[in-house]
Amino acid sequence: MSNEIYQKIRVVLVNPSHPGNIGAVARAMKTMALAQLVIVAPQRDPFDSEARARAAGALDVLLRAQVVEQFEQAISDCGLVVGASARLRTIPWPTFDPHQCAQQVVATARHDAVALVFGREDTGLTNDELARCQRLVHIPANPDYSSLNLASAVQVITYEIRMAELAAGDQSVSLPPEQPLATAAELQGLYQHLEKTLQQIGFYDPANPRQLMRRLRRLFNRAQLDKMEMNILRGILAAVDEKHK
Amino acid sequence: MSNEIYQKIRVVLVNPSHPGNIGAVARAMKTMALAQLVIVAPQRDPFDSEARARAAGALDVLLRAQVVEQFEQAISDCGLVVGASARLRTIPWPTFDPHQCAQQVVATARHDAVALVFGREDTGLTNDELARCQRLVHIPANPDYSSLNLASAVQVITYEIRMAELAAGDQSVSLPPEQPLATAAELQGLYQHLEKTLQQIGFYDPANPRQLMRRLRRLFNRAQLDKMEMNILRGILAAVDEKHK
């Protein structure tokens, strides 16, 4: 049971620059019983000698890591995508501390795949990448120096997940959802459809976006749509489109 | 007040072998607002180039570290000495997880100095050293691979201390909402408008409701709409209505 939950949770590193950090992330993950590592467009060879040295006894996790070119490939099948963010955004996004985050990650991982997304060492995640995340997790670091090492950030987040999983034990408080959750790819499809339809009815002008699409994304991300709700919303958009043919 | 608590808490590294780890410990500490580092009998120069590189923006913490010869010197003035232990002992010692440990550390640091003691990278603390600790803190790692990097262990323990201090200080990490929430009356207005518009575009047939409105209510209720989101949704419905006049 425990193992199944850990297998549903992957760590996604976006565009990491230092192979040593990637190895250290593998080590941090394995100490917390996680093994699914996905590396998006690494800037250098993620399996070099420094990465292997820093992985220590977690070399297996490092060597089984999946390397993909696009961020989309790393998250498309996930029911929950959580982004680690050190920055405050102009539009506040639903943000949890690692303890709160872990409760939701463990509850979701009982039935759906979860991605924990970590950005570049220097600049973090882009706004477009953050917009693909349904939740943000923020480690409440020292405001005067909040720069955790990448592997240290992974260690803290995954530590809280293990604590939550141990505390939850066999008691499953949350009911299984009526329907599987919509995947990240399905959500992306919804947002594209919504944007197109809103342009068509004259409500949305890309030349004057006023953060409209970002606000709508935030709303639906927060709701964690299931597949039936997704189908209803797509159906409504299709009905609006049909009338405007 | 906060600063005084953090100043009462020191990290003690006993006989560390890798300068890089010492620098990484300084960085982990500073991200959690700690600055008192004591190094007992380091095996190599704790201020070498690798230590400085790994310290990154916490070079000040590294360079102000106190180096002592005897463990005793590092802890003698402390009211509470907590030892980090990966091992189970033959004689059970009062052992906390990092969350429990942090509560006691923060409570004690209001009035007394506290030492957090971390052992050698390979062999940890000796039995004599452990015997000088009043409490042990144990990170509940993967039993199949419990070997956290030294700086990662410091990061987890000090993260919990900062979380405990923030909780005690009644400071919330979550942002205040950007907008007041929509009221129940506003929500009701939204649902009525939505129902009318969906009928108009032929998506909803009250004679064959299929729980559609109930599902949409549940979705938007779950999202806890704020006033701006409410206005956006009403605006979209009005734009659809306009096209069907």
pLDDT tens-digit readout, B94-128: 778 999 999 999 998 988 899 999 999 999 999 88
Q: Confidence band (pLDDT; 50, 70, 90) for A245?
A: confident
Tokens encoding A156: 């803290």
Task: Name every residue whose Cβ is closer than 8 Å to that of residue B203 and which is 6 or more positions away in sequence.
Answer: A235, A236, A239
Q: Confidence band (pLDDT; 50, 70, 90) for A90?
A: low
Which residue is closest to B159 within chain A, CA to CA?
A156
Q: Confidence band (pLDDT; 50, 70, 90) for A178?
A: low
Q: Confidence band (pLDDT; 50, 70, 90) for A172?
A: very low
pLDDT at A34 over 80: yes
Taking Cα atoms as reference points, which of A129, A19, A110 lies closest to residue A70? Answer: A129
pLDDT of the residue at B100: 93
pLDDT at A129 over 70: yes
Mean pLDDT of A60-74: 97
Which residue is closest to B236 within chain A, CA to CA?
A203
Q: Confidence band (pLDDT; 50, 70, 90) for B176?
A: very low
Contact B224, A218 (CB under 8 A): no
pLDDT of the residue at B1: 44
Q: Which of B30, B175, B225 sits opposite A219 (nearest CB)?
A: B225
User: Helix, strand or coil for residue A83?
Assistant: strand
Q: Confidence band (pLDDT; 50, 70, 90) for B160?
A: very high
Mean pLDDT of B36-46: 97
Q: Which of B57, B142, B219 sits opposite A229 (nearest CB)?
A: B219
B224 touches chain A (CB under 8 A): yes
Q: Domains of chain B, with CATH numbers?
A: 2-168 (3.40.1280.10), 184-243 (1.10.8.590)
Chain A closest CA to B91's CA: distance in Å?
24
pTM of the model: 0.83
Taking Cα atoms as reference points, which of A1, A51, A49, A63 lies closest to residue A23? Answer: A51
A175 touches chain B (CB under 8 A): no
Tokens encoding B237: 């419905």
pLDDT at A171 over 60: no
Q: Confidence band (pLDDT; 50, 70, 90) for A173?
A: very low
Task: Name every residue whose Cβ is closer than 8 Å to that of residue A135 and which is 6 or more positions away in sequence.
Answer: A80, A81, A82, A83, A93, A94, A95, A96, A101, A104, A221
pLDDT of the residue at B85: 79
pLDDT of the residue at A175: 47
Tokens encoding A4: 């199944």
What DSSP state is assigned to residue B175?
P
pLDDT of the residue at B93: 66
pLDDT of the residue at B222: 77
User: Helix, strand or coil for residue A114?
Assistant: strand
pLDDT at A18 over 60: yes
Other CB atoms within 10 A of residue A28 CB: 30
pLDDT at B218 over 60: yes
Which residue is closest to A204 within chain B, CA to CA?
B236
pLDDT digits (tens, 9 = 90+) for A198-216: 999 999 999 988 789 989 9
Chain A closest CA to B69's CA: distance in Å?
29
Q: Confidence band (pLDDT; 50, 70, 90) for B185?
A: confident
- Report A:186-205 residues touching B (Cβ under 8 A): 198, 201-203
AA identity, residue B5: I
Other CB atoms within 10 A of residue B106 CB: 24
Show the beta-strand stretches assigned E in chain B: 9-14, 36-40, 66-68, 80-84, 95-96, 114-118, 135-137
User: Which one has a higher pLDDT value, B51 or B133?
Assistant: B51
Mean pLDDT of B80-93: 72
Tokens encoding A244: 């405007």
Question: Which residues in chain A are closer than 8 Å to B177, comparing Cβ atoms?
Answer: 92
A91 touches chain B (CB under 8 A): yes
Structural element, H or E, at residue A229: helix A227-243
Contact A118, A17 (CB under 8 A): no
pLDDT of the residue at A69: 97
Which residue is closest to B164 within chain A, CA to CA?
A140
pLDDT of the residue at A244: 77
Test A32 with B142 for CB contact under 8 angstroms.
yes
Test B152 with A152 for CB contact under 8 angstroms.
yes
pLDDT at A10 over 70: yes
Q: Which of A33, A138, A155 sits opposite B173 (nearest CB)?
A: A138
% of chain A residues with pLDDT over 90: 74
Give the Cα separation of B110 and B105 in Å (integer): 9
Test B141 with A56 for CB contact under 8 angstroms.
no
Tokens encoding A192: 């594209």
Test A33 with B144 for CB contact under 8 angstroms.
yes
